[in-house]
Structure 1
């Protein structure tokens, strides 16, 4: 964990336009992820992803060393953000400060915009997910990633399950 956050090492890039039809897309855990702005494009400032998720999916409680934000276009998610439990529905915006335990489960098919500042967390998806063959939810029999490789990527990009000791001791960036 001694390496700096990867977002701090990228120089600013030129202006860009990314659309959901040409931006990189991945299948990962019953979700279609489209990376609209990544750490390389924004000079590390932020990253933005669009996600389409099946009902009943979502991560367990985890923590990032970056700020995270969601905007719900459609569907709903039962969320825990810190000690607070809430249901986010279409039109809701959720801000999660760095270092805050959070997790969610979708209660129906859900479409969100998801951002991180600084950027870099999207590299977890790009590093382990399956490139999407089509712009639709992944096949239900899609093979899950190797858990050890996934854990290494999480550690590299300052993300962790909330139960991991380092999640409470990592320096804030």
Structure 2
């Protein structure tokens, strides 16, 4: 083999390696770049108002707020989320919560989960002046916070941790207990 042929072969190998590196870099910045998973409250309904009377003269009034949560994975890899928690607050006081078990969202997949939250009115009544004022106005404003931490694994090697947070303000009509207004905000932390 002549020096000229060796030089051509080395140049071809360097060119091929450079081309592979450039293609991998472009794919890493476009197709395989982690995208934010979506955690969104699609709808919310109130059902199952129940009362219990316990001795000595303690009355408990509970109702179920069902949130339909859209979980969407826009990535080309599966998104494995850990235990998701959904908390409900009234006047910055925790009045209900729900924890959903961990699962996996397939690549480019989505699912709608029904999240029934049992709300405890006795926690609402802790702020008696506020709840009475809200009842007189015919509207009860509650706040929901859902958090979904998870991991996206690309090619079985590269792992990216993501944390999606959904924050919603709901206005419930009283005494009908229907959702009059719903405003949600979505954040994702890489």
With the shorter chain as reference, the TM-score category is under 0.3
TM-score normalised per structure 2: 0.23
Query: When you count strand as a share of all residues, which structure comes out higher?
Result: 2
TM-score normalised per structure 1: 0.24
